[in-house]
Amino acid sequence: MISSLDARTGSVVATVAEETSEDELDALCRSAAEAAPELEALGRRRRATMLSGMAATLEARRAEVVQAADRETALGEARLNGELTRTCFQLRFMADVITDGAYLEATIDHAGDTPMGPRPDLRRMLRPLGPVAVFGASNFPLAFSVPGGDTASALAAGCPVLVKAHPAHPATSLLCARTLAEGAKAAGVDLPVVSLVFGDAAGARLVEHPAVKAVGFTGSLAGGRYLFDLASRRPSPIPFYGELGALNAVVVAPAAAKKRGREIADGLAASATLGVGQFCTKPGLVLVPAGSSGDSLRDALAGAVRALPAGHMLTERIANSYATGSAALRGLSGVQVLAEGATAGAGTQAGAGTPASDGEGGGWWGVPLLLEADAGAMDGPLGEECFGPVLVVVRYRDAAQLSQLLERLAPALTATLHADLPEDEALARTVVDTTSEKVGRVIWDGYPTGVAVSWAMHHGGPYPATTNALHTSVGAAAVRRWLRPVCYQNFPETMLPPELREGPGPEHSVVRRVDGALVAP
Amino acid sequence: MISSLDARTGSVVATVAEETSEDELDALCRSAAEAAPELEALGRRRRATMLSGMAATLEARRAEVVQAADRETALGEARLNGELTRTCFQLRFMADVITDGAYLEATIDHAGDTPMGPRPDLRRMLRPLGPVAVFGASNFPLAFSVPGGDTASALAAGCPVLVKAHPAHPATSLLCARTLAEGAKAAGVDLPVVSLVFGDAAGARLVEHPAVKAVGFTGSLAGGRYLFDLASRRPSPIPFYGELGALNAVVVAPAAAKKRGREIADGLAASATLGVGQFCTKPGLVLVPAGSSGDSLRDALAGAVRALPAGHMLTERIANSYATGSAALRGLSGVQVLAEGATAGAGTQAGAGTPASDGEGGGWWGVPLLLEADAGAMDGPLGEECFGPVLVVVRYRDAAQLSQLLERLAPALTATLHADLPEDEALARTVVDTTSEKVGRVIWDGYPTGVAVSWAMHHGGPYPATTNALHTSVGAAAVRRWLRPVCYQNFPETMLPPELREGPGPEHSVVRRVDGALVAP
């Protein structure tokens, strides 16, 4: 049985569904495979309308959806209202991306002579892969779950979606799936474009089902690697796009520390504890210069963390994992506690991530924690992500030591640098060169937790940040994950997809590369 | 010891190298990793010059290279001269692709307000992955080997290449690697941008080496899958782009069979036996309508195949595999032999792919073979690629049976349709819809063996045609395999890569998407 829990009390509120059986899963996958050519045949314009319809229906059910998500995640209505706004923006943004049509990479080489002899007429564009499995995240019940970025980009590409509902928010998942179906129907699309699967066994079978052609996943390294291995070991392997989180490093350069250490400390404390530290882009490590301005920054950071309250974590498992992980970090030799936030209500012990019994002060709590580690202690657990509101300060003596520390870091989603030009320029160049080799996004004078939905966003990075460094789960390019090229050689005009015809007509006109030159629609 | 054999006699001509030891491999990988940032820092213009320099040096050594390749492959000087021309064209084409610069996908979102609040300045472009391993093909000692498409596209992207030399042509590999290094040096690039690795054990270690960030492979399904599994099982998995070949189907629609059956038969016989059938795009199956015009086409095909000579195959292993595979096909129930080409010289037995002893008539031979199979026999071995000059004819009664046959086919690199409009239109639509779901290129009234190097070419397809349906090993998009996005958030102008600056300057000006709109350079 799949139960919905109240994250603030830890108690079961409702039974949402049964685990999806093998036969049910097979039927869902077959339906998705049958719907795939129909979804593609709708064309970009009608799929854009469908995505907008889904956004409108989600907005119409805003109160209900936010309430369900808040009960299951304890993330709070303000945050979840914002997340719903983002989710709807994302659906509409994906509608814009496919309306624009450049994502098709439409390319035409007219027949002609080449140094290798005559070349036939060749026309290439991207087409949908087929049904896509999506594994939603615990920490974004909307924007990275059933109605989230993977779903939006896959539907935009023309791929039906089968979502494995996250056990942290099954009721929200069910409500969202129904809402999306309603939105599609309102836009005139009566196809099983979003199906829901419950249970871990069904999730694993989903990855292995022959009808599924790609997988999007947002979650832990262990869970993601397990499913990546399943996808890779299939008789017919499929791409697995796992966004697995990271230890996101922040470097504060000396002049920045001196000029605005307090401001950076406040911003960093807020970023590291936003959503009780349950962001894959949470800054987990800050490299602070030795010396007095670094001391002040560290002390300001400690003050800021001390003033923060404990927060409800998403699930018992996440809270336990945070409790264990943060306890292990503070127990390491070379590590000391700089500050802790306020502990939780009655029934909880002092310390991070302590699960509590039901009732007053129930649910699962995470307590903000600031540690300081010697530079020499940086290998091992300190170099890995600890999901939750913990931030580790490491001091560096000079640019050379900073470089060494950065070289030792594993690839991540982001790296951040606070630097003031021209004083910090030499150090800044080293940091940018070193970190941009191993992260997907480098942030200057900011904080990594905000991940804007836009044309230029890249949310990814080399393993273990993701399982595929070429792709992003946020931004316009997210659609590329669900598409493959097809080349049409020497085709009669009428047999070509409309976007590749000599005369595509206004509805199908997109930017194309024709005989080597880009041609505007 | 790595020996070079004369493919026409089967005898060892020279010892080329020792197998690369573990230490040597590690040193090569480390050198490549050190060269990677330098190769990127050269910038697009100097890398383009390097590629052109490589092409020029290859051309300067044309006679020597063609002679070495001809001795090791028996492909003939005419074909190898053409292949060298293609190889040089490909190197220069990749120089054009990076000079154009659109491949960078440079994208700028200026800071601004959004429905989710203020958005920082975001700038994204593609950057090289790092060192790339390339496994050259047996059947294209130049165009898909050391100086081939994987190498050209990886170098263009800015990735140093480590090539595992194919055992079918080690001397050619060594000569080409030296020639490329010479070309790079002549263009002012004195970096280890192309290294050579010998031996299967070293090849496997190469795929597993931490410094290697992606693999390009052209070869067999078994070999490709083995290495794909190694790449996927790494502690830090890397993308593996395997082009594994396919059973390429050709459909002849009724009106086309009637109007120009003889022409199609001649073209098909030539395509299926080109290079002794040793093309990954060789048509392996032709679906011919029942009835008299189909009979005539089949008879013309049989006549054409009967008139063809046997040819030297690339290696003993390939010839043995062809002998075994084609013997298995002709032994299947429901299969009959329509025609065989002439058998080979002295010392060979009648039949396909018989290895012979050294001396006169030595080497390894492949005899063209035309089979006919009942539609009911199509599952099993008849549905798989048999590498060599064999083509199977299957007759179809009507469009419905044709559809069923096409549905049963595995994914492939290509599908081909000969059809005449308007008579064949309904059947043609079905064939195009069905096949374009599972191949990378659909050819109208042509033959699949030619794979043009151009902007619109796609040489790929779903597994088992390749291990990654999103990518191509031929054409402009081949460069995409070796690149990953990096996003720069809120960066000062001077710290950005030149192509992302507000004022990139004429040398770095490329097409960009700025605030959602494409802007020409």
Q: Please write the tens of the pLDDT for every residue from B464-475.
A: 999 999 999 999
Residue B488 to residue A442, Cβ atoms within 8 A: yes
CA nearest A366: which of A277, A248, A284? A277
First-to-last CA distance in chain A? Answer: 53
Question: What DSSP character marks residue B308?
Answer: P
Residue A470 to residue B89, Cβ atoms within 8 A: no
Identify the residue among B108, B230, B455, B490 best suited for mutation to test binding to A, counting A beta carbons within 10 A and taking the highest. Answer: B455
What is each CA distance from B107 to A305, A320, A367, B114, B294, in whole angstroms? 37, 41, 39, 18, 54
Predicted pLDDT at A357: 43
Given a cut of 50, is residue A234 above it in pLDDT? Answer: yes
Residue A436 to residue B105, Cβ atoms within 8 A: no
Residue B513 to residue A455, Cβ atoms within 8 A: yes
Residue A442 to residue B486, Cβ atoms within 8 A: yes
Alpha helix stretches (DSSP H) within B209-287: 221-233, 254-273
CA distance B4 to A508: 55
H/E stretch holding B424 reads: none
Residue B116 to residue A452, Cβ atoms within 8 A: yes
Q: Report how far Cα A516 is from the mean position of its chain's Cα atoms.
A: 35
CA distance A439 to A232: 24
DSSP string, A6-40: -TTT--EEEEEEPPPPHHHHHHHHHHHHHHHHHHH
Chain A closest CA to B217's CA: distance in Å? 16
What is each CA distance from B175 to A164, B30, B80, B139, B165, in whole angstroms? 53, 23, 15, 17, 11
Secondary structure of residue A82 in the 3-state scheme: helix
Q: Is B408 on the interface with A (CB under 8 A)?
A: no
CB pairs under 8 A between A and B: 240
Work out the average pLDDT over A254-278.
Answer: 97
Given a cut of 50, is residue A446 above it in pLDDT? Answer: yes
Identify the residue among B454, B481, B513, B514 best suited for mutation to test binding to A, counting A beta carbons within 10 A and taking the highest. Answer: B454
A507 CB neighbour count, 10 Å cutoff: 10
Q: Please write the tens of the pLDDT for every residue from B53-71.
A: 999 999 999 999 999 999 9
Predicted pLDDT at A358: 42
Q: Please write the tens of the pLDDT for every residue from A413-423.
A: 999 999 999 99
Phi and psi at residue B412, in whole multiples of 5°? -145, 175
Q: Name the band, by pLDDT with cuts 50, 70 and 90, for residue A361.
A: low
Whether B386 is a known active-site residue: answer no
Given a cut of 90, is residue B356 above it in pLDDT? Answer: no
Q: Is B108 on the interface with A (CB under 8 A)?
A: yes
Work out the average pLDDT over B73-81.
Answer: 96
Residue A228 to residue B236, Cβ atoms within 8 A: no
Which of these ranges, A70-74, A112-116, A356-360, B78-82, has the smallest mean pLDDT?
Answer: A356-360
Given a cut of 60, is residue A18 above it in pLDDT? Answer: yes
Residues A138 and A219 sit within 8 Å (Cβ to Cβ): yes
B349 CB neighbour count, 10 Å cutoff: 11
CA nearest A371: which of A356, A381, A363, A362? A381
CA distance B26 to B195: 12
Q: Name the band, by pLDDT with cuts 50, 70 and 90, for residue A377.
A: confident
Residues A303 and A413 sit within 8 Å (Cβ to Cβ): no
Stated pTM of the model: 0.96
Structure tokens at B277: 């059938």
Identify the residue among A83, A84, A119, A124 best suited for mutation to test binding to B, counting B beta carbons within 10 A and taking the highest. Answer: A124
Q: Which residue among the candidates B88, B159, B176, B280 is catalytic per the annotation?
A: B280
The beta strands (E) that lie in B136-224 are given as 161-164, 194-197, 214-218
Q: Name the band, by pLDDT with cuts 50, 70 and 90, for residue B361.
A: low
Secondary structure of residue B234 in the 3-state scheme: coil
Alpha helix stretches (DSSP H) within A42-119: 43-60, 62-73, 77-100
Mean pLDDT over the full length of chain B? 95
What is each CA distance from B234 to A147, A167, B28, B214, in whole angstroms? 33, 30, 19, 12
Catalytic residues of A: 243, 280
Closest Cβ opposite residue A443 in set B129, B490, B511: B490
H/E stretch holding B440 reads: none
Chain A closest CA to B272's CA: distance in Å? 18
Give the contacts of A19 (CB within 8 A, at least 6 positions apart).
A1, A2, A198, A199, A201, A202
Q: Name the band, by pLDDT with cuts 50, 70 and 90, for residue B355.
A: very low
Q: Is B32 exposed, middle or buried (0-12, 13-18, 19+ CB in 10 A)?
A: buried
Q: Is B96 on the interface with A (CB under 8 A)?
A: yes
Which residues 460-479 on chain A approach chain B with CB closer than 8 angstroms? 460, 462-464, 467-470, 472, 475-477
CA nearest B312: which of B19, B33, B75? B75
Q: Name the band, by pLDDT with cuts 50, 70 and 90, for residue A345.
A: low
Secondary structure of residue B53 in the 3-state scheme: helix
Secondary structure of residue B8 in the 3-state scheme: coil
CA distance A88 to A421: 39
Residue B444 to residue A495, Cβ atoms within 8 A: yes
CA nearest A391: which of A502, A487, A490, A282? A282
Work out the average pLDDT over A281-307.
Answer: 97
Q: Please write the tens of the pLDDT for every residue from B164-194.
A: 999 999 999 999 999 999 999 999 999 999 9
Q: Is B34 on the interface with A (CB under 8 A)?
A: no
Flag whether the ipTM exceeds 0.95: yes
Structure tokens at B417: 């349709």
Q: Please write the tens of the pLDDT for every residue from B304-352.
A: 999 999 999 999 999 999 999 999 999 999 999 999 999 865 334 434 4
Q: Name the band, by pLDDT with cuts 50, 70 and 90, for residue A505.
A: very high
Residues A100 and A510 sit within 8 Å (Cβ to Cβ): yes
